[in-house]
């Protein structure tokens, strides 16, 4: 299983501008993307994800570091010499060519004979469910259809890697959800390595094999969706993905695989990963709202606010010392919220549900 | 000064009242009093002389000021005029050549100076290319005259009609350059990136993506260059040698003779050419917007 | 995040980038070369030759003699007495220049006064009407100047349409003399250059974000104030461009005074042409042309200064 990485970045740095205005868009980024993987670069705008994508595609060159495609260095090659294709955010379909001509463009550029091209175009149109629309011009298509043409145009070349730059951001919600499953299926069917860029965490979590969460030019955490969600390593990842309660606490002591910590408001939590931090060390803990259980008639806190969101209710619970926790509880079977404003409740957090954040 | 009461525009109520049947004007924020009248007057003023000129070209009489019934005899005369033919031919030779050369040259120059990382000398190049626009025609005319006189007397070089073609090309270049540059700037940069992503070398990307999309700009530039060269009088008059009469020069010569409606006819023909080209460039611009 | 400690790119990248840059630069220069050569040799070189000519002596039958002399510049302001060679100040040429400048300025002002309302009106029409208006104004813009000026001449002649109509209505007995007067030249200039003022201002106003005007009204401004304080400043680039496009050709106008002026009151254009024609004084003509060019450059400098200053205030 020791495959070469489909794409590898080694110590990549990208600096824009010079002197005092220099912006370090990528700061010593190293990552290896596996063959046949659906890999996502996730982060807020300005985090460097698009820059990294453009470096892999060849539209920019790194200020330092190497980029390897299937083990071969490519950072010095122009885009038309890399076996990589891109689906652009704005689709970038050639307006003066038909759909079929758009799709066959890459094949034409590589000298594929016309007979073969026609076949591939038909195959691609079928793959993206646009059969019969080969003769239309891009301006005659809807947004969703244009997006599929962009996909087909890239896939027609059987690239080693397919790069997708926020391709779903221009679509409305329903279409986006449809396309998510279609893209996932496409990746599985074709077996091509997909590198997907998005700022939408739901997209990342639902589609990816692995996610790289980026911020300020660096990869904050790399792992499968469940790892990123359940075991965030630092404050940024815990905050960016889903909702989190941040609790400042002090270490009480190690208990096996866990670290016992105490915080204001009377919380006593067993956090993981355990470390050998001494008693009294100040730490930041992260607790997901849905992991917290509220017990009736407790005395740890009071429900201050209750917000109904359909499947759950979000409770704002006030503890002693001005501590607040956001708790999400699934609504009872009969659809009614389980707690009301003013209820006194106890807090229960299972061991290990609390994450110790590095910072 | 009028008090600042709490209604937008204290001068509105009077208008509402006096134009009861058009209350919309009072609320029309774009309305400025009198501007519409001025605009219409200007339009009338701009067209009145040329309409009169055109109308009188269709007179059947002999007088340029007394209407003699409708007829096209003066167009017939004009078209059969040998001098007119010769002038038209000369004009076309000069104008078509100048248009082709200036458009090609301007396209290349636009590609070099637009949407590109700065290169040393870029601003200077831009200024040189647009220089003819900033020099009054009479100065260009006498400078060119001096130049060709020098060439002829000292180096014994005379390009004949080529002199005029070269001079026309020079002032046509900026007129072709600017629309092409504008069109290039409007173009989506990512299209060329997409082409490169799809294995197109820079030359192939230019041929298959940039150039087809640039064509409206090139056509507009060529149309402008054509009109500007076709209509030129000042420079042509001073640089032209014997026998190098263009249409504008021919018409000018005719103003020295007793005036007949033939001059109206010839002038209207020239106006017709301009109108055709303006319409063409409008149609091209409209199609591009799709 | 010190910018100083950036590690170096790989060797192959550096080499590839150097090669690309060399090829790129060559392509830039290569593409722009034909334009530069043509304009340089047949546009700039003639101007330089004219400069040289202005410092030479006039030839007997036109052209020049290759003898250095500043006679041309001297004779711009002074006249040499034929008998004793003394110089006396002569304001003939100066008058012509001043008159031309005044006429050009007046033309610009009138064009602005008429052109701005027209452009504003056009820019505020609904889209379908707007295209029609732009089309109608563009036609005279690109029509033959000679023909348009001829059209004006034909109607203001003594036997022209204007006089005919006035006579027919019994308003006058004798024709009003309009042709070959300063009025005719003024009218001709105004007529020729009005579209040159309208279209740039229109272009500026069309791009204007009308919500800024709405904001002005929302903040209790009257129509006049909105016009003065919001619309006109926003249209400034177009106004400046329009003024330049009118002033520069107007000051060197040749066709209009030729056809409508009748050679009595000379303007600079005719004066220069005269030196290269029957007056056979090429150095003088060159000098006069250069002095005109200097005036144009001053106007252009104002433009550059005003537009760069403006850019700073808008973005500052």
Largest CA distance in chain A: 78
- CA angle, B77 then B79 then B85, to 5°: 125
Contact flag C117-B48 (C-beta cutoff 8 Å): no
With contacts defined as CB-CB under 8 Å, which chain C residues touch A19?
Answer: 3
Cα separation of B119 and B117, whole Å? 6
Cα separation of A168 and A184, whole Å? 13
Do the Cβ atoms of C153 and C259 come closer than 8 Å?
yes
Do the Cβ atoms of C25 and B160 come closer than 8 Å?
no
Q: How many A-B residue pairs are in contact by the CB < 8 A criterion?
A: 60
Q: Which residue of A has its CA nearest to B191?
A: A92
Domain ranges of chain B: 82-289
Cα separation of C187 and A90, whole Å? 53
Cα separation of B176 and B112, whole Å? 14
Nearest residue, CB atoms, C144 vs list B108, B132, B231: B231
Region C239-262: what's the mean pLDDT?
Answer: 88
Contact flag C35-B8 (C-beta cutoff 8 Å): no
Query: DSSP letter string over A228-290?
Result: HHHS--BHHHHHHSS--EEEEEEEEEEETTEEEEEEGGGEEEEEES---PPTT-EEEEEE-GG
Strand partners, C87: C80
Contacts of A253 (CB under 8 A, 6+ apart): A259, A260, A279
Give the minimum alpha-carbon distance from A55 to chain C in angstroms, rounded to a whole number.
12
In this prediction, residue C171 carries a pLDDT of 79
Residue A294 host element (H or E): strand A293-308
Instruction: Summarize pLDDT for A221-277 with one digit per residue, the tens.
Output: 999 999 999 999 999 999 999 899 999 999 888 888 888 899 888 888 888 888 877
Closest to A154 measured CA to CA, from A211, A113, A188, A195: A195
With contacts defined as CB-CB under 8 Å, which chain B residues touch C47?
Answer: 135, 139, 143
Q: What dihedral do alpha carbons A162, A166, A172, A178 form, nearest 10°?
A: 30
Contact flag A85-B290 (C-beta cutoff 8 Å): no
Q: Which residue of C has its CA nearest to B108?
A: C31
Measured CB to CB, residues of chain A less than 8 Å from chain C are 11, 13, 15, 18-20, 22, 24, 27, 61-66, 73, 75-78
Query: Residue C147 CA to chain centroid, in angstroms?
Result: 19
- C223-to-B38, C124, C203 alpha-carbon distances in Å: 17, 14, 22
pLDDT value at C263 more than 80: no
- pTM, two decimal places: 0.83
Do the Cβ atoms of A12 and A29 come closer than 8 Å?
yes
Measured CB to CB, residues of chain C less than 8 Å from chain A are 1, 3, 6-10, 12-13, 15-17, 20
Query: DSSP letter string over A7-24?
Result: EEEEEEEEEES-GGG-EE
In this prediction, residue B17 carries a pLDDT of 43
Region C66-77: what's the mean pLDDT?
Answer: 81
Closest to A347 measured CA to CA, from A276, A286, A291: A291
Contact flag A61-C9 (C-beta cutoff 8 Å): yes
Which pLDDT band holds residue A334 (cuts at 50, 70, 90)?
A: confident
**pLDDT tens series, chain B, 290 aa:** 344 344 444 444 444 444 444 445 556 777 778 888 899 999 999 999 999 888 888 888 777 777 778 888 888 888 888 999 999 999 999 999 999 999 999 999 999 998 888 888 888 999 999 988 889 999 999 999 999 988 888 888 888 889 999 999 999 999 999 989 988 988 888 999 999 999 999 999 999 999 999 998 899 899 989 999 999 999 999 999 888 999 999 999 888 878 888 888 999 999 999 899 888 888 877 776 54
Best A17, A80, A152, A163 member to test B by mutation, with max B CBs in 10 Å, is A80
Which pLDDT band holds residue C124 (cuts at 50, 70, 90)?
A: confident
Q: Whose structure tokens read 């109520």?
A: B13
Counts for chain B of helices (H) and strands (E), in that order:
15, 0
pLDDT value at C90 more than 80: no
- What is the CATH class of B82-289? mainly alpha
Secondary structure of residue A318 in the 3-state scheme: strand
With contacts defined as CB-CB under 8 Å, which chain C residues touch A66?
Answer: 10
Give the minimum alpha-carbon distance from C3 to chain A in angstroms, rounded to a whole number.
7
pLDDT value at C34 more than 80: yes
Cα separation of A167 and C40, whole Å? 49
Q: Is it true that the peptide bond before A273 is cis, omega within 30 degrees of 0?
A: yes
Contact flag B197-A139 (C-beta cutoff 8 Å): no
Q: Whose structure tokens read 């940024």?
A: A236
Residue B204 host element (H or E): helix B202-205
In this prediction, residue C208 carries a pLDDT of 82
Give the minimum alpha-carbon distance from A219 to chain B in angstroms, rounded to a whole number.
26
Contact flag B170-C42 (C-beta cutoff 8 Å): yes
Name the phi and psi angles at C126, rounded to 5. Answer: -65, 155
Cα separation of C242 and A38, whole Å? 58
pLDDT value at C313 more than 60: no
In this prediction, residue B89 carries a pLDDT of 93
Across A324-333, C194-203, C221-230, C243-252, least confident range: C221-230
Cα separation of C24 and C45, whole Å? 29
Q: Whose structure tokens read 């009204």?
A: C217
Nearest residue, CB atoms, C289 vs list B139, B263, B279: B139
Phi-psi region of A71 (alpha: psi -120 to 50; beta: other; left: phi over 0): left
In this prediction, residue C307 carries a pLDDT of 65
In this prediction, residue B27 carries a pLDDT of 64
Contact flag B49-C154 (C-beta cutoff 8 Å): yes
ipTM: 0.85
In this prediction, residue A184 carries a pLDDT of 93
- A38 vs C85, more confident: A38
Q: What dihedral do alpha carbons B70, B71, B74, B80 form, nearest 10°?
A: 170
Contact flag B42-C222 (C-beta cutoff 8 Å): no
Domains and CATH numbers, chain A: 7-238 (3.40.50.300), 243-356 (2.40.50.140)
Which chains have 3 or more CB–CB distances shorter than 8 Å to chain A?
B, C
Query: Residue B279 CA to chain centroid, in angstroms?
Result: 12
What whole-number percentage of chain A has pLDDT above 90?
67
């Amino acid at each position: 299983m020791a495959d070469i990485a489909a794409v590898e970045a080694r110590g990549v740095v990208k600096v824009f501008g010079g002197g005092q205005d220099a912006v370090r868009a990528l700061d010593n980024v190293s990552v290896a993307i596996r063959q046949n993987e659906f890999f996502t670069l996730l982060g807020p705008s300005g985090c460097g994800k698009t820059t990294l994508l453009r470096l892999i595609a060849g539209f920019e060159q790194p200020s330092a570091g190497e980029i390897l495609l299937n083990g071969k260095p490519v950072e010095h090659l122009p885009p038309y010499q890399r076996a990589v294709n891109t689906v652009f955010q704005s689709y970038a379909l050639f307006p003066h060519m038909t759909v079929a001509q758009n799709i066959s463009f890459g094949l034409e550029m590589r000298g594929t004979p016309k007979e073969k091209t026609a076949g591939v175009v038909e195959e691609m149109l079928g793959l993206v469910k646009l059969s019969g629309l080969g003769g239309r011009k891009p301006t005659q298509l809807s947004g969703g259809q244009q997006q599929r043409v962009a996909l087909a145009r890239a896939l027609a070349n059987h690239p080693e890697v397919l790069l997708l730059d926020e391709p779903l951001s221009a679509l409305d919600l329903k279409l986006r959800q449809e396309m998510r499953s279609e893209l996932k299926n496409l990746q599985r069917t074709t077996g091509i390595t997909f590198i997907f860029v998005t700022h939408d965490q739901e997209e990342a979590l639902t589609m990816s094999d692995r996610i790289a969460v980026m911020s300020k030019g660096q990869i904050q955490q790399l792992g499968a969706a469940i790892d990123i969600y359940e075991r965030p390593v630092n404050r940024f990842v815990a905050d960016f993905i889903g909702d989190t309660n941040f609790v400042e606490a002090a270490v009480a002591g190690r208990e096996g695989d866990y670290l016992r910590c105490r915080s204001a408001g009377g919380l006593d939590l067993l956090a993981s990963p355990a470390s050998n931090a001494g008693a009294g060390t100040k730490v930041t803990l992260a607790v997901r709202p849905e992991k917290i259980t509220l017990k009736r008639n407790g005395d740890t806190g009071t429900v201050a606010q209750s917000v109904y969101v359909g499947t759950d209710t979000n409770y704002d619970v006030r503890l002693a010392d001005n501590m607040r926790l956001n708790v999400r509880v699934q609504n009872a079977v009969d659809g009614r919220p389980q707690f009301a404003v003013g209820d006194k409740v106890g807090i229960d957090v299972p061991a290990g549900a609390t994450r110790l954040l590095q910072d | 000064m009028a008090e600042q009461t709490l209604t937008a525009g204290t001068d509105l109520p009077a208008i509402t009242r006096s134009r009861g049947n058009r209350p919309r004007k009072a609320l029309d924020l774009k309305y400025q009093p009198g501007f519409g009248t001025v605009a219409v007057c200007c339009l009338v003023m701009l067209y009145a002389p040329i309409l009169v000129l055109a109308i009188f070209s269709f007179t059947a009489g002999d007088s340029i000021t007394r209407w003699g019934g409708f007829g096209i005899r003066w167009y017939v005369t004009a078209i059969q005029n040998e001098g007119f033919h010769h002038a038209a031919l000369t004009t076309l030779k000069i104008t078509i050549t100048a248009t082709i050369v200036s458009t090609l040259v301007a396209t290349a120059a636009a590609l070099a100076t637009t949407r590109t990382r700065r290169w040393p000398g870029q601003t200077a190049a831009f200024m040189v290319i647009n220089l003819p626009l900033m020099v009054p025609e009479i100065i260009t005319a006498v400078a060119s005259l001096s130049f060709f006189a020098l060439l002829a007397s000292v180096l014994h070089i005379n390009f004949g009609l080529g002199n005029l073609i070269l001079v026309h090309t020079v002032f046509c270049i900026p007129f072709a350059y600017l629309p092409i540059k504008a069109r290039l700037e409007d173009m989506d940069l990512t299209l060329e990136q997409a082409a490169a992503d799809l294995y197109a070398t820079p030359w192939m990307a230019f041929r298959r993506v940039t150039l087809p999309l640039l064509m409206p700009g090139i056509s507009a530039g060529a149309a402008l260059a054509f009109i500007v060269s076709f209509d030129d009088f000042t420079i042509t008059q001073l640089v032209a040698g014997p026998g190098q009469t263009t249409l504008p020069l021919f018409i000018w010569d005719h103003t020295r003779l007793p005036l007949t409606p033939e001059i109206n006819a010839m002038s209207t023909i020239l106006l017709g050419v301009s109108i055709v080209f303006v319409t063409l460039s409008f149609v091209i611009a409209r199609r591009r917007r799709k | 995040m010190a910018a100083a400690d950036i590690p170096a790119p790989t060797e192959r990248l550096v080499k590839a980038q150097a090669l690309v840059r060399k090829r790129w630069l060559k392509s830039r220069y290569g593409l722009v070369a034909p334009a530069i050569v043509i304009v340089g040799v047949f546009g700039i070189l003639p101007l330089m030759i004219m400069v040289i000519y202005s410092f030479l002596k006039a030839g007997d039958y036109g052209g020049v003699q290759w003898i250095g002399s500043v006679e041309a510049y001297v004779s711009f302001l002074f006249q040499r007495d034929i008998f004793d060679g003394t110089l006396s100040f002569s304001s003939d040429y100066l008058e012509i220049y001043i008159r031309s400048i005044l006429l050009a300025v007046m033309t610009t002002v009138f064009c602005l006064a008429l052109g701005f309302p027209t452009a504003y009106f056009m820019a505020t029409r609904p889209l379908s009407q707007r295209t029609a208006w732009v089309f109608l104004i563009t036609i005279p813009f690109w029509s033959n100047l000679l023909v348009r000026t001829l059209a004006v001449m034909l109607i203001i002649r003594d036997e022209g349409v204007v006089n005919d109509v006035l006579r027919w209505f019994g308003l006058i007995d004798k024709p009003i003399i309009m042709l070959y007067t300063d009025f005719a030249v003024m009218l001709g200039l105004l007529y020729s250059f009005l579209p040159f003022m309208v279209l740039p201002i229109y272009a500026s106003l069309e791009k204007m974000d009308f919500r800024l005007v709405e904001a002005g009204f929302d903040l209790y401004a009257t129509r006049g104030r909105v016009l003065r304080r919001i619309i006109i400043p926003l249209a400034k680039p177009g106004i400046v461009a329009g003024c330049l496009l009118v002033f520069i050709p107007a000051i060197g106008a040749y066709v209009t005074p030729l056809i409508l002026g009748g050679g009595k009151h000379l303007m600079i254009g005719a004066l220069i042409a005269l030196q290269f024609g029957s007056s056979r004084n090429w150095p003088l003509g060159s000098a006069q042309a250069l002095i005109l060019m200097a005036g144009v450059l001053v106007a252009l400098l104002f433009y550059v200064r005003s537009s760069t200053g403006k850019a700073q205030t808008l973005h500052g």
